[in-house]
Structure 1
Amino acid sequence: MEGGFIIFNIMRWQLFCRMHWQLRSCFIACLIQTVCGQIRYSIPEELKKGYFVGNIAQDLGLNVGRLRSGRARIVTGDSIQYTELKTDKGVLVVSERIDREQLCGDFTPRSFTFEIILKNPIELTVSLWTFWMSMITHRFKKKQEIKLKISESAAPGARFVLGSAEDPDVGINALQNDILTPNDNFILKQHTRPDGLKWAEMVLQKPLDREQEPRISLTLTAVDGGNPQRSGSVNIEVTILDANDNAPVFNQSVYRATVMENASIGTYITTVNASDSDSGSNGLITYSFSNMNGKVADVFSVVENTGIIYVVGQLDHEKTKKYDVGVEAKDQGGLADSSKVIDEVVDVNDNAPVINVMSFSYPVTEDAPVGTTIAVINVKDIDSELNGQVTCNINHKRQFKIMSSLTNYYTLVTDSAFDREI
């Protein structure tokens, strides 16, 4: 009979051996029969108590009443009795947990024996039965989780040992194969030691990228060859360790800022910013000026860990109207990126016009005609735009006037006839 994974085979031999004793002196001759038989049962281990093993009465051809009247009982040589005889039904059931590995280890055949003894009223020993246990089970003992830390710089072909599953079963019921959940980065390779122990390792076949996938979760499943097939699984958590494979990147190629030329020391200009996809020290960025001339160093400074640029010296629009400052962002591994800051210095009206008399005619005759040039004047204001625009006036408008000639040049001319006596 087969049911589920239970295999129940019965081989029965019955020998009826007649033994005769003669009682003399008008005594009654009595016939005593000894029934000899051997039955083999195959059942799984780890069955629950009360699980049906076999019908002893039926298999031996005994009457159930005979078992009851004979107060049939089981006798074994072990301290633990794994089966129990139900004399009211003539059946054999499991009475204790049966562990094939505990009883038999790696040896075969895997069996134990017992005897059934009847009494009624003279002791009658019903011969030996051999009770064979064909254990069919599959148990795997393995860590609940395997944690691996792998650098993203690991080269394809790198190997990572996963160890082996533990299966106390033997033969076909023992560990047969390991399966790794599908993954683009790793493949599974299995090995067998000379003593038969199987173990597995993961082999990297595709480069890792922590920035794209910082963690990878896998499942390793160990399966045996039993029927039904049993399996055990373990989670594999792979943490990808960072390698300095990314350079800093500025979020702008050019930064633009303006500052008043009369800005005080410490005045904020702008903040440059770069990012690095690496983690830890590989992602730490420091900022500095690059290709810097002395003029820049005299007026600006940058905070190396924040990228803040501020004023440290005196600005003068009239001397330098614009600063083109190179900045660099560098990580701890030496990888860098560059950008620049264009800083416009805004003019302040901090300069007065300057008048220079370029030529002057002296003296002037009283008969000089109207329009005679008396002087040529140059007026400059080094401020820019409106702050540098000037107008010229004279305080003696009856006889003279000022006229604009070229840019920043003016002429003073006569505007009426002179009479020295008046």
Structure 2
Amino acid sequence: MRWQVVLFFSMLSLFYVLGQVSYSVPEEMSKGSLVGNIAQDLGLDLKRLKTGKARLHVGNSAEYIELNKERGLLLIKERIDREALCKQTTPCALHFQMILENPIEFYRITVEIKDINDNAPIFKMKDMVFEISESAVKGSTFILEKALDSDVGINGLKSYLLNRTDNFALKLNDNTDGGTEVEMVLEKPLDREKEDHLTLTLTAVDGGEPQLSGTVQIHITVLDVNDNAPVFTHSTYKSSLMENSSKGTPLITVTAIDKDQGANGLVTYSISNNIEGILDLFEIHETSGEVRLIGNVDYETSKHYQLKIKAKDHGGLSGSSKIMFDITDVNDNSPIIDLMSATQSVLEDSILKTVVAVMNVHDADSDDNGVVKCFLSEDVPFNIESTANGFYSIVTDSDLDRERASEYNITVTCSDEGLPSLSSSVTLTLQISDVNDNAPVFERTSYEAYIVENNTPGLSIFTVKATDADWNQNARVSYILEGSSINGVPVSSYVSVSADSGVIHTLRSFDYEQIKDFQFRVKAQDGGSPPLSSNVTVKIVVQDQNDNPPQILYPVQTGGSLVAEMVPRSADVGYLVTKGTVLCTVTATDADEGSNGKVMYSITNTLDDVPVIFPEVLSEFTDYIQDKEYNDNLTFYLVLALAVVSFLFITCLVVIISVKIYRWRQSRILYHSSLPVIPYYPPRYSDTLGTGALPHVYNYEVCRTTDSRKSDCKFGRAGSQNVLIMDPSSTGTMQRVQSEKIILDEPDSPCPPSPVASLSPYRSQT
């Protein structure tokens, strides 16, 4: 069977329709038969068909055609019966679209179904029966039932043949509606006495190859003397009918008049249409000629109906007329929304007017009842635009933000302009895909943490936390320690940060006396592409521990601190063991701070190892230690303190040597004195058991010679103090005190032996 492929491209006003192609194929082709090479005809690459997920959109129609994306061919999917698909409508065509995505494109495709001669003409009636009076005049006509051929065009019904034409001839009349009336014309009067019954054969043939035909028998009974046939008052009746008219509604009454008398003048009416479905919609009263509606008419199915009415009298004569019904449209169809293509998700940074869906909307009603307008029924950042007659696109209307709304339910409502208006809705769910447009944000603008010195390496200090408003990989936060240095040492050797959790660990043990605090920056970076990041400053404050003992700065400790003297066995009471003069200040410091760096002093008796506490010694220096801040200038102050103390020591030493020469001459006076001398103790000595700091500095002078018998000593004291000399006996104590006070006040007073003492600093407990 010859068939042609007609291809043409045209640039339409519709933005998204890129072309149109038409094919024609014969009906009844087997499955898999080739319709056309759509890829070649549209100039599309086979790769584009695959990547664009090409598919055919047929709407509500059955799928007769399928697309082979591998070869770019249109193939027959199901056998096509043109008569079942279009009935008598010509031309018969399938209309569908081919949809491509990324970007969205679609092409209109029309496949015309050509008729083949696969249906023979048929008569609905098995037999046609006529009763004809013998008095029928020559030229009398008798309407015959027409044959029905489902094929169209050249394959449709072409002509009729009537055999045995002794009395009758066949006459074909063309109607204004394009149909053909078949009449049997009496050519020769009948003679009931010769033949009262005739049987004729009517054959209907089509114009196809091979030619097909159908037959029906005509049985004629010859009646006696009825020479007038019924005649209708109008050859054509016209009426209108609302499509929503209820069953049983009377429509029109027809009338036919027969001039005969008696039984020959009684007329009966019938509908003679052989069009399928007519007898299911209309009926006529046999005797009154009233036509009623017995079914449901649909304007969208058929806009006009034509009824053939036959009036026949009892003598067998008949007349015919026709009724034309125009169906009036009623708004009884809601708009049909056909979602041709829709995107499941769209990026939040999509540009304005990005197409997310394409749909076709149509209403089967006519005029205003079929005019449709569509709109979005919700406040969403999208808009619906009409791209062509019946085609709409949903596009983005403003900027999208997944962090504000991650999903939209877009409801499209389409309403017609009928009264009352009918509408339909469809909801499209659209996901907003995330774009890495948010940097991580720390919970704080800065962090400060405390750690006690001498910590264990690997200790968890605290945790930094940042959050990212994005989703999935774009919201996965990693923590990175930014490169910097502390006193020339990379910060990465001090601390580390866990990339996943943000936990900061120490990598070394800290010493408060070396570093009191330091700071660094931590970067939070997300997993997007490209990644976004933010920074935060972290300050670590090292807290002091009491981990440093006091250090005596002066006097410098060299060798042993004990001095021994030899006393002869024959020495009397009051024998001078040693004498000497030393002026010194004991200075000690502690590297710790606060209460941990507060220094207190005590004298330890090396003989009985009992400590004696001297409070308020070196208070000025202790106050300095408490208030000082450990920094790089500590060395400078320590050197300065040592220089001052050394200067004072040398000065004191020169003064003592000078005084020693003077006192040496008077040493004999005390040497021969027999008064017992009580050892001298500094003022407020008994207060040293308290916890207060020593507020004053005390100097002790000791004079010694190589000959113990010539040694003397002098104890420094406050200006208002007296030396208390205790007599072993309780009597005469006060008198001896007054008398001996004069001797002690003399410059050459001898020094009684005293135990060797040493100064040792100790830490106060608070």
Is the pair's TM-score, using the shorter chain for normalization, greater than 0.5? Answer: yes
Structure 1 segment 136-285 matched on structure 2, within 5 A: 136=330, 137-143=332-338, 146-169=342-365, 172-181=368-377, 183=379, 185-192=381-388, 197-285=389-477
State the identity as a percent. 21
2:323 aligns with 129
Taking the aligned partners of 1:387 and 1:242, their CA distance within structure 2 comes to: 57
Structure 1 segment 9-408 matched on structure 2, within 5 A: 31-35=228-232, 36=234, 37-44=236-243, 47=244, 51-57=247-253, 60=254, 72-81=269-278, 82-85=280-283, 87=285, 90-95=290-295, 98-103=297-302, 110-118=303-311, 121-123=314-316, 124-136=318-330, 137-143=332-338, 146-169=342-365, 172-181=368-377, 183=379, 185-192=381-388, 197-293=389-485, 294-331=489-526, 332=528, 333-358=530-555, 366=578, 368=580, 372-373=582-583, 375-396=584-605, 403-404=617-618, 406-407=620-621
Distance 1:405 1:227, change over 3 A: closer
The Cα of 1:234 is off from its aligned counterpart by: 2.0
Paired residue type of 2:700? V
Is the 1:261–1:315 contact (alpha carbons within 8 Å) kept by the matching residues of 2? yes
Taking the aligned partners of 1:114 and 1:147, their CA distance within structure 2 comes to: 51
Matched length: 376
Paired residue type of 1:335? L
Gapped runs of 5+ residues in structure 1? 1-19, 64-68, 104-109
Moved more, 226-235 or 276-285: 226-235
1:413 aligns with 700
The Cα of 1:38 is off from its aligned counterpart by: 0.7
Taking the aligned partners of 1:75 and 1:351, their CA distance within structure 2 comes to: 127
Taking the aligned partners of 1:358 and 1:111, their CA distance within structure 2 comes to: 132
Paired residue type of 2:534? D
The Cα of 1:245 is off from its aligned counterpart by: 2.1
The Cα of 1:231 is off from its aligned counterpart by: 3.0
> Is the partner of 2:508 in helix, strand or coil?
coil
The Cα of 1:346 is off from its aligned counterpart by: 2.2
Taking the aligned partners of 1:242 and 1:411, their CA distance within structure 2 comes to: 80
Taking the aligned partners of 1:208 and 1:247, their CA distance within structure 2 comes to: 18
The Cα of 1:326 is off from its aligned counterpart by: 1.5
Distance 1:55 1:295, change over 3 A: closer
Moved more, 336-345 or 82-91: 82-91
The Cα of 1:32 is off from its aligned counterpart by: 4.3
Is the 1:147–1:236 contact (alpha carbons within 8 Å) kept by the matching residues of 2? no
Taking the aligned partners of 1:73 and 1:272, their CA distance within structure 2 comes to: 97
The Cα of 1:201 is off from its aligned counterpart by: 2.3
Taking the aligned partners of 1:86 and 1:33, their CA distance within structure 2 comes to: 16
> Is the partner of 1:39 in helix, strand or coil?
strand
Paired residue type of 2:459? T
> Is the partner of 1:56 in helix, strand or coil?
strand
Taking the aligned partners of 2:314 and 2:322, their CA distance within structure 1 comes to: 20
2:108 aligns with none
> Is the partner of 2:391 in helix, strand or coil?
strand
Distance 1:146 1:70, change over 3 A: farther
Taking the aligned partners of 2:284 and 2:699, their CA distance within structure 1 comes to: 143
2:734 aligns with none
Greater gyration radius: 2
The Cα of 1:302 is off from its aligned counterpart by: 0.9
The Cα of 1:395 is off from its aligned counterpart by: 1.6
Distance 1:312 1:175, change over 3 A: farther
Pairwise CA RMSD: 4.1
> Is the partner of 2:605 in helix, strand or coil?
coil
Taking the aligned partners of 2:380 and 2:531, their CA distance within structure 1 comes to: 32
1:11 aligns with none
1:6 aligns with none
Is the 2:522–2:537 contact (alpha carbons within 8 Å) kept by the matching residues of 1? yes
Taking the aligned partners of 2:698 and 2:521, their CA distance within structure 1 comes to: 48
Distance 1:384 1:138, change over 3 A: same
The Cα of 1:411 is off from its aligned counterpart by: 6.5
Taking the aligned partners of 1:156 and 1:321, their CA distance within structure 2 comes to: 57
Is the 2:283–2:291 contact (alpha carbons within 8 Å) kept by the matching residues of 1? yes
Taking the aligned partners of 1:190 and 1:30, their CA distance within structure 2 comes to: 69
Distance 1:306 1:401, change over 3 A: closer
The Cα of 1:204 is off from its aligned counterpart by: 3.5
TM score, norm. by length of structure 1: 0.73
The Cα of 1:172 is off from its aligned counterpart by: 4.9
Distance 1:152 1:366, change over 3 A: same
Q: Could you report, residue by residue, the CA deviation over 1:358-411 in whole angstroms, capped at 9, with x for unpaired residues?
A: 358999995557xx52x443323222222222222112399x986326425877
Taking the aligned partners of 1:205 and 1:228, their CA distance within structure 2 comes to: 31
The Cα of 1:212 is off from its aligned counterpart by: 2.0
Taking the aligned partners of 1:359 and 1:382, their CA distance within structure 2 comes to: 18
The Cα of 1:232 is off from its aligned counterpart by: 2.7
Paired residue type of 1:132? D
Is the 1:157–1:203 contact (alpha carbons within 8 Å) kept by the matching residues of 2? yes
Taking the aligned partners of 2:555 and 2:284, their CA distance within structure 1 comes to: 139
Is the 2:335–2:416 contact (alpha carbons within 8 Å) kept by the matching residues of 1? no
Q: Which has the higher contact order (CA 8 A, sep 6+)?
A: 1
The Cα of 1:147 is off from its aligned counterpart by: 5.0
1:10 aligns with none
TM score, norm. by length of structure 2: 0.43
> Is the partner of 2:596 in helix, strand or coil?
helix
Taking the aligned partners of 2:320 and 2:402, their CA distance within structure 1 comes to: 74
The structure with the greater share of residues assigned to strand is 1
Moved more, 355-364 or 30-39: 355-364
Taking the aligned partners of 2:327 and 2:384, their CA distance within structure 1 comes to: 36
Is the 1:326–1:341 contact (alpha carbons within 8 Å) kept by the matching residues of 2? yes
The Cα of 1:273 is off from its aligned counterpart by: 1.3
